[in-house]
A and B are shown apart, each in its own frame.
Chain A
Amino acid sequence: MSEDVEGVQTGEEVAEEPKEPETKMISMEKAEEAKLKAKYPNLGSKPGGSDFLRKRLQKGKYFDSGDYNMAKATKNKQLPVASVEKTEITGDHIPTPQDLPQRKPSLVASKLAV
């Protein structure tokens, strides 16, 4: 058997585990924390606190639909261009929602289905 068992513990054995690996584990974490604090001195002391969670809950926030559409367009490296009716003179035609360019859903089949 060439496999080492990597850190398998059972609930019953915890009390008998030597303290050394555990303290090594924690000091590694604290060393990493010190590294982080050195890079970002303004980091708050409560990482799992409300700032992090609120950022997570705010995922996908845009200022308005225009902001959203611009972000999508820039991502696809192509600005949407409204189709111009040749018979219309600028200012003569009041746009309706149907005239505005929509983000086309991806109709491309998944590559897993090839």
Chain B
Amino acid sequence: VAGGTGAGGNDVQWCFSQVKGAIDDDVAEADIISTVEFNHSGELLATGDKGGRVVIFQQETENKCQPLSRSEYNVYSTFQSHEPEFDYLKSLEIEEKINKIRWLPQKNAAQFLLSTNDKTIKLWKISERDKRPEGYNLKEEDGRYRDSTTITTLRVPVFRPMDLMVEASPRRIFANAHTYHINSISVNSDNETYLSADDLRINLWHLEITDRSFNIVDIKPANMEDLTEVITAAEFHPHQCNTFVYSSSKGTIRLCDMRASALCDRHSKLFEEPEDPSNRSFFSEIISSISDVKFSHSGRYMMTRDYLSVKIWDLNMENRPVETYQVHEYLRSKLCSLYENDCIFDKFECCWNGNDSVVMTGSYNNFFRMLDRSQRRDVTLEASRESSKPRQVLKPRRVCAGGKRKKDEISVDSLDFNKKILHTAWHPQENIIAVATTNNLYIFQEKVN
């Protein structure tokens, strides 16, 4: 049966809604999407790319006459966030690629987001202007100054409506605090501070203060020859402003409490799944490296993504995850070639749906996986131009690991490893998802009858 059963609670079926980006296969490096993030209301969707640019889409306000009509995301604002730089002192290139975008909760009419490249975090203010003052006494409408001797009367300038203009301006630049490459930023629930994490250190910032930050985690060994582990991701707890977690390249997650000490080098909790040492292979450590960690909205659980699986951890249980989902187990027999083409080092992200019942993560061949925790079901879907007719229901995809390939299945050897879905995002309340392929952004929505 075409369509099959979807994942998303209560048999959600996913339909194509929109796709953004160019169709041509010749992808410029700058157009590679590097991060995708909904804001807290889901009204805005931001993307960052390798060229240092940010594009923000806004959801159309629902048509009240047609309550079930699909609301589309249209371009709201776009700006150049970061530029390429060269560190002359260390002879190191600083890429302009946007590694992460995180939205601040909205406090007034303007929207704020943090965007970061490898070295510098910037706070951007995005504001709307829909009126402008007219009727100045000393200036013409085009800005030229009037000859003051010709002025015989005075008038009061008034605001007149104008076409909506959305302006982005950098309000804070948080620079020079990271020796290594920033992989994560996370806004605290206190709405005043945020953390930034690089390979070896985590810093705590105040949003108003750019000339200093507190170092709260430092795992740099005295002798770099002793380096065995790096920080791969970090996030603040959604409700507890004193708690954050960070994951490592060895597959561990450490939970830290900032009330315990100023420097949180000693963890409060260490989450690690025990492994039989006799089962270790050359690849064990590499595939156990955690590429993403995300708290559930409830704050009770956290999810980690390593190369082959997604794990759900209960914060109250450190010795093993409560759930483990295989993302693409069929790749285990291909680890040798995946190591040779560097794909084994790809960093996949993962995300929760609004009520924490379903999680999503990407894979290769433009496939992405929906893992339904409540119904113990999972499905593989594909983001492709071939399945992009308006409201077209996505058909589940199946990969044949070996042996006889059934009709409609694709064999592991036919998978395109250049088509990776690393970045996905889920609307905080609705069943709307944003899936980034290399240079295109797909938006899928729940099928509405």
Cβ of B159 under 8 Å from chain A: no
Cβ of A95 under 8 Å from chain B: no
Selected from A33, A53, A61, the residue in CB contact (under 8 A) with B283 is A33
A8 to B336, CA, bound (A): 25
Given contacts A32-B333, A64-B91, contact A5 B322 (CB under 8 A): no
Taking CB atoms, residues of chain A closer than 8 Å to B1 are 2
Q: Is the CB of B55 within 8 A of A47?
A: no
Given contacts A14-B320, A60-B93, A110-B53, contact A49 B378 (CB under 8 A): no
Given contacts A32-B336, A112-B441, contact A53 B227 (CB under 8 A): yes
Q: Is the CB of A111 within 8 A of B21?
A: yes
A40 to B306, CA, bound (A): 25
Q: Is the CB of B439 within 8 A of A111?
A: yes
User: Closest approach, in angstroms, between the C-beta of A97 and any C-beta of chain B?
Assistant: 11
Taking CB atoms, residues of chain A closer than 8 Å to B8 are none
Closest to B338 in A: A32
Contact bitstring B27-49, A, C-beta under 8 A = 1, else 0: 00011010000000000000101
Among A1-23, those with CB < 8 Å from B are: 1-3, 5-11, 14, 22
Selected from A8, A68, A111, the residue in CB contact (under 8 A) with B91 is A68
For the complex, count residues of A whose C-beta is within 8 A of B: 54
Cβ of A98 under 8 Å from chain B: no
A103 to B30, CA, bound (A): 14
Q: Is the CB of A10 within 8 A of B322?
A: yes
Q: Is the CB of A57 within 8 A of B441?
A: no
Q: Is the CB of B329 within 8 A of A6?
A: yes
A34 to B376, CA, bound (A): 36
Cβ of B105 under 8 Å from chain A: no
For the complex, count residues of B whose C-beta is within 8 A of A: 75
Q: Is the CB of B92 within 8 A of A60?
A: yes
A25 to B281, CA, bound (A): 11
Binds A, one of B79-87, B133-141, B146-154: B79-87
Selected from B94, B95, B336, the residue in CB contact (under 8 A) with A35 is B336
Q: Is the CB of B286 within 8 A of A54?
A: no
Cβ of A81 under 8 Å from chain B: no
Contact bitstring B273-317, A, C-beta under 8 A = 1, else 0: 000000101111110010000000000000000000100000001
Q: Is the CB of A48 within 8 A of B332?
A: no
Taking CB atoms, residues of chain A closer than 8 Å to B378 are 3, 5-6, 8
User: Closest approach, in angstroms, between the C-beta of A28 and any C-beta of chain B?
Assistant: 5
Closest to A58 in B: B92
Closest to A38 in B: B336
Selected from A29, A60, A63, A103, the residue in CB contact (under 8 A) with B332 is A29
Q: Besides A106-B51, A111-B439, 5 other CB < 8 A contacts? A: A3-B377, A36-B336, A50-B225, A103-B84, A106-B53
For the complex of A and B, list the 4 residue pairs with the smallest distance between their C-beta atoms, beginning with the closest.
A7-B326, A48-B285, A60-B93, A29-B281
12 A-B residue pairs with Cβ-Cβ distance under 8 Å, sorted by A, are A1-B377, A2-B4, A3-B4, A3-B5, A7-B309, A11-B322, A33-B281, A53-B230, A60-B92, A61-B93, A112-B55, A113-B75
Binding site for A on B (CB under 8 A): 1, 4-5, 20-22, 30-31, 33, 47, 49, 51-53, 55, 75, 78, 80, 83-84, 86, 88, 90-96, 118, 180-181, 199, 224-230, 249-250, 279, 281-286, 289, 309, 317, 320-326, 329, 332-336, 339-340, 371, 376-379, 396, 439, 441
